[in-house]
């Protein structure tokens, strides 16, 4: 009988601890899928995707297929400097294929990738995909091992176009 009381007491003590941990912000990630212009959080980074455009080139580099260029803001919501890892970001298409970013603007430099707490940088990622690819989502990650936050790219956006040489997605 004492054993049952101890088990119940342990269970009662575990519930508040679990609720507290889940709500304290230790596990930053978005549970719902956002669209263009909406913030998502993964770990210590908050992301806002502002535009997706298609282009045959990115800077001076010609795509093997076409580039899907994703423009976004990345903000460090943590308490320490954090590196933005281009290769951790994944573009998904309507056939379920996943693509890694091949290029980033500004270029891959330590002073750009190392984002201090509270600061935000604007980046453009170029994904080389076959012509005709229909990107549907981008999964944004704090690191290669983080859970990731999904942004739906098929929703309409009111973000302004930032480049005359590329065509924005609807």
CATH number at residue 65: 2.60.40.1240
CA distance 45 to 81: 11
- According to the model, what pLDDT value does residue 124 have? 96
- According to the model, what pLDDT value does residue 168 have? 55
- According to the model, what pLDDT value does residue 164 have? 37
DSSP state of 143: S
- According to the model, what pLDDT value does residue 125 have? 96
**Does residue 14 belong to any structural domain of this protein?**
no
**Does residue 42 belong to any structural domain of this protein?**
yes
The parent domain of residue 116 ranges over: 28-157
Tens of each residue's pLDDT in the chain, 170 residues: 555 555 554 444 444 444 343 334 444 444 457 999 999 999 999 999 999 999 999 999 999 999 999 999 999 999 999 999 999 999 999 999 999 999 999 876 655 578 999 999 999 999 999 999 999 999 999 999 999 999 999 865 444 433 434 455 54
DSSP secondary structure string for all residues of 75-109 = EE-SSS-EE--GGG-EEEETTS-EEE--EEES-S-
**Does residue 70 belong to any structural domain of this protein?**
yes
Give CA separation, 148 vs 13, 138, 170, in Å: 31, 9, 24
**Does residue 130 belong to any structural domain of this protein?**
yes
Number of domains in the chain: 1
**Does residue 22 belong to any structural domain of this protein?**
no
- According to the model, what pLDDT value does residue 117 have? 97
**Does residue 8 belong to any structural domain of this protein?**
no
- According to the model, what pLDDT value does residue 153 have? 96
Q: Is the dihedral of CA 23, 29, 34, 35 positive or negative?
A: positive
**Does residue 56 belong to any structural domain of this protein?**
yes
- According to the model, what pLDDT value does residue 2 have? 52
**Does residue 65 belong to any structural domain of this protein?**
yes
- According to the model, what pLDDT value does residue 19 have? 38
């Amino acid at each position: 009988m004492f054993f049952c009381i101890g088990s119940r007491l342990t269970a009662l003590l575990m519930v508040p601890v679990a609720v507290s941990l889940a709500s304290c912000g230790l596990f930053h990630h978005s549970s719902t899928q956002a669209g263009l212009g909406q913030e998502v959080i993964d770990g210590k980074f908050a992301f806002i995707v502002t535009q997706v455009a298609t282009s045959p080139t990115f800077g001076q580099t010609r795509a093997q297929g076409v580039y899907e260029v994703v423009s976004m803001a990345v903000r460090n919501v943590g308490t320490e400097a954090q590196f933005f890892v281009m290769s951790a970001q994944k573009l998904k298409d309507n056939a379920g294929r996943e693509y890694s970013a091949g290029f980033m603007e500004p270029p891959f430099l330590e002073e750009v990738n190392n984002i201090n707490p509270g600061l935000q940088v604007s980046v453009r990622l170029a994904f080389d995909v076959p012509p005709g690819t229909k990107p549907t989502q981008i999964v944004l990650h704090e690191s290669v091992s983080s859970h990731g936050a999904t942004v739906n790219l098929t929703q309409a956006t009111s973000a302004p176009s930032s480049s005359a040489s590329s065509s924005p997605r609807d």
